[in-house]
Structure 1
Amino acid sequence: MSRVLATRILDLILVLVGVSIIVFLMIRLIPGDAVAIMLGANTEITPERMAELKSRVGLDRPMIEQYFVWASAALRGDFGTSLWTGRPVAQEIAIHLWPTLELTLLALIVGAGLAVPVGCLMARTRGGAADVAMRIGAIAGLTIPSFWLGIVLILLLAQFAPSFASLGYVPFSEDPLGNLERLLLPAFALALPILANLSRLVRSAMLDALGQDYIRTARAKGVSERSVVYKHALRNALIPFITSVGIMTGYLLGGAIVVEQVFAIPGLGRLILGAIAERNYPLIQATILVVTAGFVFVNFLVDFLYIIIDPRVRA
């Protein structure tokens, strides 16, 4: 097990290094004079001002040197200073990180939490009216974009429940109920595709598990159907489910950035889009790196759980 874990950690390090290189190069390959844009339209653009800003940002150095300076500082938690606010980039990210994490976590709980009972019910009623109805609903859930669903939910609430607060964000520490009220709709809009995808996966895995010999043996011994489904079959069906949850978490982070714009949530989505519009190099690099590193780390945790659940992986 230690050998497999060491291999996973090495893979994690290599992926993070590759991601950092891609992020670094991607920002610098954006068309246009970044220095002129960073100076702004209301500032007189002179060679002296451009040279001063290039020196302050580090764009006057060779690109390889720029990367190693930036990467070594990032390892120490120093992502530089925001070009517009003058605050440390790490502080800017910390301010906007929690709303995104909270929205992603709530959507994951709703989507993954409901997918297990829904998938099990679809497997138990295979071919029945309930199974067909839920499969049609799952297909619809996969095809509906989260941002479009969010807009429709806002319009419906404005029509039938205008007093319900659906826009903006209130910190949980200030108003727990208000926080949940404002995150409920965006979390549902974000969770629906995940629920649809994972429920179909659980159904397929459950049907495969219910056809195994050990399930027939358990039934022959007189084990109750409820115990057969939820104790024996579900344990093996959760292995591909857990793997998919890790992958879905990354998509949730990306989807949350779009949904945040619809519901006016001040998370990483607003931060990234604002930084791109302003060509705020340090903020763009750090924010994208944090999001992708979070996705990679979640998948590392999923691999670790996979090793614990399935002993065959340890061999």
Structure 2
Amino acid sequence: MISLLARRLAGLIVTLIVVSLLIFTVMDLLPGDPASVILGTSASPDTLAALQKEMGLDRPLAVRYLAWLFGVLQGDLGQSYTYGVPVAGLIAERLVVTIPLALIAVLLSVAIAVPLGVQAARHQNGLMDAVAGLFSHLSIAVPAFWVGLLLIILFSTILGWMPAGGFPGWSADPFAALKALVLPAVALALPQAGVLTRVTRSAVLEVMNEDFVRTARSKGLSEGLALWRHAVPNALIPVVTMLGLQFTFLIAGAVLVENVFNLPGVGRLAFQALAQRDVVVMQDVVLFFAALVIVMNFIVDVAYLVIDPRLRAGA
């Protein structure tokens, strides 16, 4: 098993390097010059050339990429053109909003989807199955940012129970900060809960037809105990896979939701960097998202080995 994990880890590192090269190349091909954006169209050619040299834009692509890659490996993500501060500090400041938001959304998604999917499988073609199917179709069809707008209208404008946007900060008022994340977390969680409900239902239905579950029933175990003791634990692998994917989707989906709720997270930082043509921030944020996806896939692979002893034996 150790050799398998070592191979997966080596593959993770190679993938990250290839992805970083693709990101840097694509960002370099984007139309527009960061120096021109900073100085404006009225800048003289000499001033523009001086700023391009100061920013390192006059160097070849390969040299700039290697300098950026070595900086990333050392924890130096460069300096933001717009904010004039290190990008690592910018991302770290925004993560205290985005990571709790994604975690709350994952917890809400699991709390809704797993019980609903299990009950839908248990009562196949019954009322609970119909309710779960309707919930899945509606939640998948509705975009998260549109759900966020509806939640603002209902709970903020009409009822006045929740804040419509903004983030007071964890140090100022932790309860108010947590309250500010509730509506955006619900907006992010509902579409993902619809997908997870369908995955859970399908996985549990497949396992319920296995011989070991029928054997458990024949030994006198009740339907509920056979379901939760035998069927659900053995149906966790596709659910864990979807959870790993969902966490990365939630981080990426925060770009729109954080703008709807005016939250100072990484998603909003990416949107602002794109609007301001801050290439350094853009490529670092995109690399962060890509690295998060790759690392989460590695964690899911490790979780497979922990959950299923047959995979450990095969490894």
User: Structure 1-normalised TM-score?
Assistant: 0.95
Q: State the AA in 1 paired with 2:309.
A: P
What residue number does 1:31 align with? Answer: 31
Deviating above 4 A after TM superposition, structure 1's stretches of 4 or more consecutive aligned residues are none
Alignment partner, residue 307 of structure 2 = 309
Write the letter of the residue equivalent to 2:33: D
Q: 1:183 to 1:63 in 2, by over 3 A?
A: same
Q: Distance in 2 between matches of 1:19 and 1:123?
A: 40
- Give the one of 75, 78, 83 matched to 1:77: 75
| CA displacement at 1:33 relative to structure 2 | 3.0
Correspondence for 2:287:
289
User: What is the alpha-carbon distance in structure 2 between the residues aligned to residue 190 and residue 109 of structure 1?
Assistant: 11
Task: Number of aligned residue pairs: give it.
Answer: 313
Gap runs ≥5 in structure 1:
none
Once residues 62 and 306 of structure 1 are traced to their aligned partners in structure 2, the CA distance between those partners, rounded to angstroms, is 44
Contact 1:209–1:236 (CA under 8 A) maintained in structure 2:
yes
Q: Offset of 1:159 from its aligned partner?
A: 4.4
Partner SS state of residue 284, structure 2: helix
Q: CA contact under 8 A between 2:213 and 2:226: conserved in structure 1?
A: yes
1: CA distance, partners of 2:221 / 2:270 = 54
- Verify the 8 A CA contact 1:166 1:183 in the aligned structure 2: no
Q: Which residue of 2 aligns with 1:250?
A: 248
Q: Which amino acid aligns with 1:166?
A: A
Q: Which amino acid aligns with 2:2?
A: S
| 1:8 maps to 2:25 | no
Task: Check if 1:100 corresponds to 2:98.
Answer: yes
Q: Structure 1, residues 199-229: CA drift from partner, whole Å, max 9, x if none?
A: 1111111111111111111111111222211
Q: Measure, in 2, the Cα distance between the counterparts of 1:144 and 1:313.
A: 37
Per-residue CA deviations over 1:179-205 (Å, capped at 9, x if unaligned) read 222111110110011111111111111
Q: Deviations over 1:120-147 (max 9, x none)?
A: 1111111111211221111111100000
My pick for the range that moved more, 289-298 or 68-77, is 289-298
Q: Distance in 2 between matches of 1:168 and 1:11?
A: 40
Q: Give RMSD over aligned pairs.
A: 1.4
Equivalent in the alignment of 1:226: 224
Corresponding position: 1:116 with 2:114:
yes
Amino acid at match of 1:136: L
Contact in 2 for aligned 1:100/1:256 (Cα 8 Å): yes
CA drift at 1:260:
0.4
Structure 1: which amino acid aligns with 2:195?
A: N
Structure 2 partner of 1:201: 199
Matches within 5 A, 1:115-264: 115-264=113-262
CA distance in 2, matches of 1:240, 1:169: 35
Deviates most, 45-54 or 7-16: 45-54
CA contact (8 A) 1:166 1:181 kept: no
